[in-house]
Amino acid sequence: MTAHTPPRFRRPAPPVRTRPLEELPGLGRSLVLSFDDGPDPRYTPGILATLREHGVRAMFFVCGEMAADSPDLLREMAADGHVVANHSWSHPLIPSLSRAGIRDELGRTSDTIARTVGEAPLWYRAPYGAWNRNSFEIGAALGMEPLAWTVDTLDWKEPGTGTIVRRVLDGAAPGVVVLSHDAGGDRSQSVAALRRYLPGLLADGYRVTVPFRT
C-alpha cells in the first residue's frame, strides 16, 4: 500500500455538524475514491483487485444487509487497508425515518462492521445524500463523521465507461472525494472505468488515499 500518511481526523465532538464534509482539504495533491451500496460479490472483487494492483486505498460505504451477506469481502477490504464506512442498513431515505429508525439503520450497520472487521466505522454517508439533523446527531453519537462527495460520477445511471472516466479525470483536484458505486445494479461500467481512470490519476501525480481518524 502507499507509504503516504494522510491527516488524522478526531472523533466528532460538540457542536455536531450541521452539514456533511464534501471534500478533505489538507491532503496535498491527493484525492479520495469512494464506493457506495456494496459489497456485491459480482463487482466489488474487481474493484478491490484494481485498487490492489495499483497499491492504493479507497473508502467503501457499505449497506449493512449487503455486508451481512458478504462478510469475507468486508474482511478483504479491511485487510487491504481500505476504510469500511457506514451507508445505513437498507438504503432508506433517512429524513423519512424517526430517530429510532435512523438509530437502527446506522447502529445495526456499525455493529455488523465492528463484528466483521474488529472495529466500528468512523465515517458514514446518508443514502441519496439526504441528511437531516437527527442523522447528524445520531451519527456523531455513534462516533462517526458525515462524508458526502465532491465529484459524482453518476455511474448508477450506466452512462458508459468512457463517460465515467471523463467525469473523474475532469473533476480531479486536491481534496476531492469521488462518488462511485460497487452495488445497487449493473456496475460493470464502474469496474471497467476504475481500471482506466486510476492509472490516469496516478500518472497525473495524484495520490489516491483515505482519511484516518484518531
List, for residues 27-45, the tens digit of each pLDDT value.
789 999 999 999 999 999 9
Write down the pLDDT at residue 27: 78
* Separation between Cα atoms, residue 100 and residue 171, nearest integer Å: 38
Judge whether 25 and 53 are in contact, CB under 8 Å: no
| Residue 203 confidence (pLDDT) above 70 | yes
Query: Which among 130, 104, 131, 109 has a CA at the least distance from the CA of 121?
Result: 109
Domains of the chain: 23-213 (3.20.20.370)
Q: Which residue has the higher pLDDT, 125 or 12?
A: 125
Helix (H) or strand (E) holding 49: helix 44-54
* Separation between Cα atoms, residue 174 and residue 6, nearest integer Å: 13
| Residue 7 confidence (pLDDT) above 70 | no
pTM over 0.85: yes
Catalytic annotation, residues: 36, 181
Q: Which residue has the higher pLDDT, 41 or 26?
A: 41
Average per-residue pLDDT for the chain? 92
Q: Which amino acid is at 149?
A: W
Q: List pLDDT tens digits, range 153-195.
A: 999 999 999 999 999 999 999 999 999 999 999 999 999 999 9
Orientation of helix 99-117 relative to helix 133-141, angle to 10°: 40
Confidence band, pLDDT 50/70/90 cuts, at residue 201: very high
Quick one: how many helices (H) and strands (E) in the chain?
7, 10
Distances (CA, A) of 108 to 49, 63, 89, 162, 175: 28, 10, 7, 37, 30
Residue-level length of the chain: 214
